[in-house]
Structure formats: structure tokens, C-alpha cells
A = this chain, B = another copy of it.
């Protein structure tokens, strides 16, 4: 899964941000999954839980908007988290079309455990970067997110 470098030239590929983004993102995702093994939580699911934790009472559409997940794809994710007992779904008092969400106690515990695992996972994987470099990296990535077309 890591970058193999058996004397194989990457050519111009090596100069593209997109290529290295794709590779390193995939590697981080694989290590994330290893760190989360047994919890049933994947990157997207942790994202959803995290948004609910930080915005209790938020509705489904806004969670998707925050994470770049389409309405149609939110449905399965929410159902998974409901089935796992991590979230509580209620009809919005202000808009009876919408569902609003809260974490259950189990969900809060899953977020806390997940945060600890993710911190260890990132500390391990990014041990070669100073904290300044890590911040630089996040800053640069955020600028790309901000620049990307709607």
C-alpha cells in the first residue's frame, strides 16, 4: 500500500500535487481504517458523528453540506449510525420535513474513543513532520478546499 520506489520512474506524475494527494490520502485512509478496526467506524461515519457532536440538533441536509456528501448518500450513512445506536433522530419541530440529530451516550463514547484513536494514528503516521509542518500542511489543504469550484 505504501509508495514503492524500486527504481521505477514516476516521470511528470511526480510533479503533480493531485497525484501525491491521491496517494497520501489513500495511505492515510488505510491507516485510519486499521486504527479504527473493530469499531465499525469509517472516515465518513466519523465525519458525520463529529458534525453532530459539534452541532447538536443539525439536520441531515446540513450535515451533508458540511461534509460534501450528497443528500441521497446521506440516507445510508444515517441509517448505519442509527442501527449502531450512535445517534438519535427526531423530526424537526420547525420543519416537519427535516430530521434533526443528537448523539446518544454510546455515540458520544464512540466519538471520544475515535478521537483518541485518530490522534494516535496521526501522531504515528505524521511523526516525521514537526507540528509547524503539520499546521502548514493543514493550512495549504484548507486553501485548496476553499479554492475549489462549488
8 A Cβ contacts from A26-41 to B:
26-32
A30 surroundings in chain B (CB, below 8 A): 148
Contact B10 A51 (CB under 8 A): yes
Closest-by-CB residue of B relative to A20 is B141
Check: A146 CB closer than 8 A to any chain B CB: yes
Check: A11 CB closer than 8 A to any chain B CB: yes
Contact A133 B141 (CB under 8 A): no
Contact A47 B13 (CB under 8 A): yes
Q: Which of B9, B65, B66, B140 contacts A54 (CB 8 A)?
A: B9
Check: A21 CB closer than 8 A to any chain B CB: yes
A24 surroundings in chain B (CB, below 8 A): 21, 141-142, 144-145, 148
Check: A83 CB closer than 8 A to any chain B CB: no
> How far apart are A66's CB and chain B's nearest CB, in angstroms?
4
Contact B137 A18 (CB under 8 A): no
8 A Cβ contacts from A116-135 to B:
118, 121-122, 125-129, 133-134
Check: A62 CB closer than 8 A to any chain B CB: yes
Contact B140 A17 (CB under 8 A): no
Q: Which of B6, B12, B122 contacts A62 (CB 8 A)?
A: B6
Q: Give A contacts to B, CB under 8 Å.
A: 1-6, 8-13, 15-32, 43, 46-47, 50-51, 53-55, 58, 62, 65-66, 68, 115, 118, 121-122, 125-129, 133-134, 136-138, 140-150
